[in-house]
Chains A and B, each alone.
Chain A
Amino acid sequence: MSARRWAGDLAMGTRFAFTGGREGWVRALLTGVGVGLGVALLLLTAAMPSILDTRHAHEAARQDYSFSSTDIKPADDTIVVAHTDTVWHSKDVRGRLLQPEGAKAPLPPGIDRLPAAGEMYVSPALADLLRSPGTALLRERLPGKVVGTIGESGLIGSRELAYYAGSEKLVPLLGKGNVERIDRFGDTTSQGSEPLDPVLLLLVLMVFVVLLTPVAIFVATAVRFGGEQRDRRLAALRLIGCDGGTARRIAAGEALAGSVLGLVFGVGFFLAGAQLASSIELFDVSIFPDYLTPSPVLALLVALAVPATAVLVTLFSLRRVVIEPLGVVRTSGPGRRRLWWRLLLPLLGLLMLTPMIGKGNGGGDFNPYLVTFGVLALLVGITALLPWLVERAVGRLDGGPVSWQLAVRRLQLSSGTAARMVNGIAVAVAGAIALQMLFAGVDADYTKSTGKDPSRTQLEVDLRAATTPDATVRALRATRGVRRTVTLSETSFGARPETTEDTIQIMVGDCAALRELARISSCHEGDAFVSSGAFTDAASRKLMTPGHTVWVDPSYPGNTKGAEARWTLPAELGRAQVRKDALRGDLTGLLVTPSALPAKARPSLGSSVYVMLDPKVPEPEATEEIRTTVQAVDVLADVSIWQSTERSTRYGAIRTGLFAGAAAVLALIGASLLVSQLEQLRERKKLLSSLIAFGTRRRTLTLSVLWQTAIPIALGLLLAMTVGLTLGGVLMKMTAVPLRVDWPSVLSMTGVGAAIVLAVTLLSLPALLRLMRPDGLRTE
């Protein structure tokens, strides 16, 4: 067989892909769109390293704190930076106040000059937000007039809310909270990121496998669009003397052309999507179009793998088909599918995963190849099992109304086509169920309790710039949405004015505030108490002896000098039994009323105001009012919402990635399913018209189409649940977490799959109704 002959056959197939008038073009277009959607998502995956790298590089370039332990002295090239981040309706706003100390002060990336006091550079998204109605409270918080926009290099996403504002009041605040003097922006320490722990690595691998497998399956499905017409064309070619091998090569050429068109479409979709990327934000992550640069190696892999898959899938689908001059004979015919080889793939998957059972955290690393291929084999096994399951299940169905009969008979005749249609959904749902189980299982390991009880207080305001909390408390009490406030301050004391030894905590508050921490029988201003949680070692006990002289806020060698206030402990120290639901945890020293402390010690106090919200004022209005009030009094204050648990950032990022990816994959699957559905309906246009011609009700045909989708999807989801639960169980065993089925997740994932199919069916109805017009019989 000469290469020339091969090339000739493939070229003829390519011509067939696009010829055939309008029909031919529509078929090519549908294939192109189907494959193209998959390619676009694969290219998006190939661009992931670039997205992560670029975001990381931008983040590093604007870093405005140093890890150096030596203080930077004020100079011509230094700048004082204060972090004034805030939150607006659950969205973070990155805020920085800048005070240059000389003409050569460094410039943060993204702005062309340093803003003067009263001036502000804002990100494009923040500028948009400020222009929108209902943002007056946010505007109040931002300290200046907008004089420019922060460029792309200064942001980590197109929708990031950020500002740089000029200030002249930062130097006195140095050392208070997040105020620092720096001589450059950017991370110079090049700290490599820590490797992921084995369970997180497993999660990352799973997310990729689970998200990309359905995409690959859909690409494979899309290249088989128009299969029946192709078979008829090949039969016509056989009639005029073309041999079976040539017919197969022509079919491969046709598939190749469709996949190349799909690549072109995919690049088009990707580029179009990239242009839209700047206006999209998923789970608080946005990007600029420039970030979407696919890795050349991965892009090349996509460019080669997609056509190769198309050709292989076509040849595989023709393996048991004899193309005869008078038509196509499927040698498999209506013969029954066999189960044994279809079980091999999932069993192989289980076999590959079994050696890793019990490894978990601390039990050693998982072999990433075995994990990837094991999970892949299990999931791809669904595509082998589903046609068998559909065939067996529909083979037993009979009776019912005409719509049911039409659907069941159609499924009995071509269960493979129906199974192919739902393969992608089934694989996606199975993967999602397994991942949800795994996430639910390891959730406790990555979600820790904060010890905070949101029923006690809802907001905590940590003051930084203010010297006393009084002004803030007054302002807060006058703010809408505040029911009550409790103020607590903290400092420490040691045995000497300058010490290298451990110091002891002092919590300061009026009697009412101290009672929020501990049970105190009698309390008057000037009293002090030893907490029941206080350290009990000899040195600490000695320091807490009544009447003993100590030093409040001692200095540590090499650090900023403390208040070093001499204090003689009261002659009587009461006993305070720490409440289980204390507003502060770790009460390891003294609880003291304000007048018990020397006045000289007061500047050393770090104060927090705990705010109980008025339930009559709706959220987030109350919180936004409070944030605005606080920022007006203390620009550096930090307002945080009390939550009972907090999640590991990396774990959270992986979960966010899963949700973002799952959203993209489900959108792709929905779109591809719709294209596939339309293609099938188009192939039956004439039959639908003739059924309408002899009076078949449209409702009957519509219901029949619904049954044709609903039956395989129900079976597909059943199989997906079985495989998903099995895979989830194995993964939980692997990570050594107790086996537990998270039924709400399982059912919600299954429900999402069913909802997609329902949506696709509804979206295809207009086309179905159009195709059911009796004038579809007209052929001229």
Chain B
Amino acid sequence: MNAPAAPAGSLLTAEDLRKAYGPTVALDGAGFSIHPGEVVAVMGPSGSGKSTLLHCLAGIVPPDSGSIRYAGREMATMNDAERSSLRRSEFGFVFQFGQLVPELTCVENVALPLRLNGTSRKEAEKTALGWMQRLEVDDLAKKRPGEVSGGQGQRVAVARSLVTGPRVLFADEPTGALDSLNGERVMELLTDAARSTNAAVVLVTHEARVAAYSDREIVVRDGRSRDMERAV
């Protein structure tokens, strides 16, 4: 059963998404919706299509068919530059291994999205340091990613994802590479920070412990999505 039609007031919605990589069908009619300030966990086993769903929702990968609307605007009609601009200004990202730029210092990494938006270096690093303080990693500002632990690096990545004040935060297995203690701390900081800025969080995970931080869960299996809250 596919996800139902988008509820009123949704910030980001997707309907009947289909995506195949060659013969492999990743999404087969998946749907999704999220409200501002809401945390939605996308769950499912490995290879079920949850990361593909996240990539489609974030405009990283165009779906083969289906509709994705962000703030009332159809993303399929946007060109690559417009989608890039959207990702730069409206979206934030956290990946499983942080994907910090190894040669930049932590503060430079956090400041990077602001600098890409044209903010001056000084201004960007000042804002970045503020976010690093909130995520309790300000002491790592001058270190490079290779010199910090996995948990610290992931918190730096969370700071980077929030530094532009995104309206939607996409987190793909943000604690996948961390131990449970570090994972929980990262999730606490991530969800608190997102809620404080009223950002919606799309959280891809296969861990129930992580999904517990969400307001709602969607399960993806064989490329189809199912809203668990409604199923209950």
A-side residues, CB < 8 A to B, are 399, 402, 405-406, 409-410, 412-414, 686-687, 690-697, 700, 774-775, 777-778, 780
Q: How far is the CA of A413 from the CA of B104 in the complex (A)?
A: 9
Identify B101's interface contact among A414, A691, A695, A777, CB under 8 A.
A691
Structural contact, B55 and A413, CB atoms closer than 8 A: no
B residues near A695, Cβ cutoff 8 Å: 84-89, 91, 113, 116
By the criterion CB–CB under 8 Å, are B104 and A405 in contact? yes
Give Cα A412–Cα B26 distance, bound, in whole angstroms.
41
Give Cα A208–Cα B60 distance, bound, in whole angstroms. 52
- Assuming the A-B contacts A695-B88, A697-B116, are A410 and B55 also in contact, with contact meaning beta carbons closer than 8 angstroms in the complex? no
CA distance A695 to B88 in the complex (A): 4
- Rounded to whole Å, the gap between the CB of A334 and the closest CB of chain B is 9
Per the bound structure, the CA–CA distance linking A724 and B43 in Å amounts to 63
Query: When chains A and B are docked, how far (Å) is the Cα of A774 from the Cα of B105?
Result: 23
Given the contacts A694-B88, A777-B60, A778-B52, A410 and B116 also touching, CB distance less than 8 Å = no
Q: How far is the CA of A399 from the CA of B122 in the complex (A)?
A: 10
Q: Are B112 and A778 in contact (CB under 8 A)?
A: no
Residue of B51, B52, B84 near A697 (CB, 8 A) is B84
What are some 11 contacts across the A-B interface (CB < 8 A)?
A402-B116, A405-B115, A690-B95, A691-B101, A694-B87, A695-B84, A695-B85, A695-B91, A697-B116, A774-B60, A777-B95
Complex CA–CA separation, A412 to B144 (angstroms)? 12
Instruction: Please report the C-alpha to C-alpha distance between residue A762 and residue B55 in the assembled complex, in whole angstroms.
Output: 30
Known: A405-B121, A778-B51. 6 other contacts (CB 8 A): A402-B115, A405-B108, A406-B101, A414-B103, A687-B102, A778-B52
Q: How far is the CA of A409 from the CA of B101 in the complex (A)?
A: 10
Out of A686, A687, A696, name the residue touching B116 (CB < 8 Å).
Answer: A696
Q: How far is the CA of A691 from the CA of B98 in the complex (A)?
A: 11
Contact between B55 and A774 (Cβ–Cβ < 8 Å)?
yes
Residues on A with beta carbons closer than 8 Å to the beta carbon of B87: 693-695
Residue from B103, B121, B161 in contact with A410 in the complex, judged by beta carbons closer than 8 Å:
B103
Binary per-residue interface labels of chain B (39-74) against chain A in the complex, 1 for a CB within 8 Å, 0 otherwise: 000000011000110010010110000000000000
Cβ-defined contact, A777 with B115, below 8 A: no
Q: A695-B116, A696-B116 are in contact. Are A780 and B60 (CB under 8 A)?
A: no
Q: Which residues of A contact B112 (CB under 8 A)?
A: 402, 696
In the assembled complex, B99 has its CB within 8 A of some CB on chain A: yes
Which residues on the B side are within 8 Å of A780 (C-beta)?
24, 26, 46-47, 51
Residue of B24, B86, B103 most packed against chain A (CB within 10 A): B103
A693-B161 Cα distance, complex, nearest whole Å: 11
Per the bound structure, the CA–CA distance linking A692 and B26 in Å amounts to: 22
B91 → chain A, closest Cβ, in Å?
Answer: 7
Q: Are A409 and B104 in contact (CB under 8 A)?
A: yes
Nearest CB of A to B45, in Å: 12
Complex: A412 Cα to B108 Cα, angstroms: 14
B121 touches A399 (CB 8 A): yes
Kindly state whether residue B174 has any CB partner on chain A within 8 Å.
Answer: no
Q: Which residues of A contact B92 (CB under 8 A)?
A: 694
A412 to B52 Cα, complex, angstroms: 35
CA distance A373 to B71 in the complex (A): 71
Pairwise interchain contact A693-B116, C-beta atoms closer than 8 A: no
Bound Cα distance from A399 to B108, whole angstroms: 11
**Measured CA separation A687–B101 after assembly (Å):** 7
Residues of A within 8 A of B131 (CB): none
Please name all residues of chain A whose beta carbon is closer than 8 Å to the beta carbon of B93 when the two chains form the complex: 690, 693-694
When distances are taken between beta carbons in the complex, the residues of chain B under 8 Å from A413 are: 102-103, 144
Residues of A within 8 A of B60 (CB): 692-693, 774-775, 777
**A777 with B55: in contact, given A690-B99, A695-B85 (CB under 8 Å)?**
yes
CA distance A464 to B206 in the complex (A): 96
Q: Is the CB of B102 within 8 A of A775?
A: no
B141 vs chain A, min Cβ distance (A): 14
Q: How far is the CA of A777 from the CA of B172 in the complex (A)?
A: 11
Known A692-B84, A694-B93: A412·B103 in contact at CB below 8 Å: yes
Interface centre among B24, B105, B115, B172 (most CB of A within 10 A): B115
CA distance A408 to B160 in the complex (A): 21
Nearest chain B CB to A164 CB, angstrom units: 63
Q: Does A775 contact B116, Cβ atoms closer than 8 Å?
A: no
- CB nearest neighbor in A for B144: A413
Q: Which residues of B contact A775 (CB under 8 A)?
A: 55, 60-61
Bound-state CA distance A687–B88 (Å) is 16
Per the bound structure, the CA–CA distance linking A405 and B55 in Å amounts to 28
- What is the bound-complex CA distance between A399 and B101, given in angstroms? 17
A697 and B89 CA atoms in complex are apart in Å by 12
Instruction: Using CB atoms, name the residue of chain A closest to B93.
Output: A694
B206, chain A: closest CB distance, angstroms: 13
Q: How far is the CB of B160 from chain A (nearest CB, A)?
A: 8
A700 to B115, CA, bound (A): 11
**Could you give, for residues 160-171 of chain B, a 1 whenever the CB lies within 8 Å of some chain A CB and a 0 otherwise?**
110000000000
Chain B contacts of A414 at CB under 8 A?
103
Q: For residue B24, which residue of chain A has the nearest CB?
A: A780
Complex CA distance for A299 and B186, rounded to whole angstroms: 60
- Set A402, A406, A691, A778: member contacting B55, Cβ < 8 A: A778
Give Cα distance in the complex from A405 to B121, angstroms: 10
Q: How far is the CA of A696 from the CA of B160 in the complex (A)?
A: 13
Q: With A405-B108, A406-B104, A409-B103 given, is the CB distance from A778 to B88 under 8 Å?
A: no
Interface residues of B in 99-142 (CB under 8 A from A): 99, 101-105, 108, 112-113, 115-116, 121
Tell me whether B61 and A778 are in contact (CB under 8 A): yes
Residue of B nearest to A780 (CB): B47
Distance in angstroms from B219 CB to nearest chain A CB is 18
Name the distance in Å between B148's Cβ and chain A's nearest Cβ. Answer: 13
Q: How far is the CA of A696 from the CA of B52 in the complex (A)?
A: 20
Report how far A404 CA is from B106 CA in the complex, Å: 17
Nearest-CB residue, chain A, relative to B157: A690
C-alpha spacing A599/B12, complex, angstroms? 111
Q: Which residue of B lies closest to A779 (CB)?
A: B51
Min CB distance B55 to A, Å, is 7
The complex places the Cα of A697 from the Cα of B172 at a distance, in Å, of 22
B108 to chain A, nearest CB (A): 7
A695 to B160 CA separation, bound complex (whole angstroms): 13
A780 to B21, CA, bound (A): 10
Residue of A nearest to B147 (CB): A334
B86 cross-chain contacts in A, Cβ below 8 A: 695
Q: How far is the CA of A774 from the CA of B86 in the complex (A)?
A: 14
A780–B101 Cα distance when bound, in Å, is 22
What is the CA–CA distance of A778 and B103 in the complex, to the nearest angstrom?
23
Contact partners of B58 in chain A: CB under 8 A = 693
Question: Smallest distance from the beta carbon of B52 to chain A beta carbons, Å?
Answer: 7
* Cα separation A695 to B83 with both chains bound (whole Å): 8
Q: How many Å lie between the Cα of A409 and that of B106 in the bound state? A: 12
| One of A406, A412, A686 near B99 (C-beta < 8 A) | A686
Q: Separation in Å of the B190 CB from the closest CB of chain A? A: 16
B77 to chain A, nearest CB (A): 18
Q: Closest approach, in angstroms, between the C-beta of A419 and any C-beta of chain B? A: 15
Most buried by A among B26, B95, B99, B115: B99
Most chain A C-beta atoms within 10 Å of own C-beta, residue among B21, B60, B108, B172: B60
Closest B residue by C-beta to A690: B99
Chain B, residue nearest A700 (CB): B116
Smallest beta-carbon distance B61→chain A, Å: 5
Residues from chain B with a CB closer than 8 A to the CB of A690 are 93, 95, 99
Question: In the bound complex, what is the Cα–Cα distance between A692 and B80 (angstroms)?
Answer: 11
Residues of B within 8 A of A687 (CB): 99, 101-102
Q: What's the minimum C-beta distance from B82 to chain A, rounded to whole angstroms? A: 11
Cα of A413 to Cα of B103 in the assembled complex, Å: 6
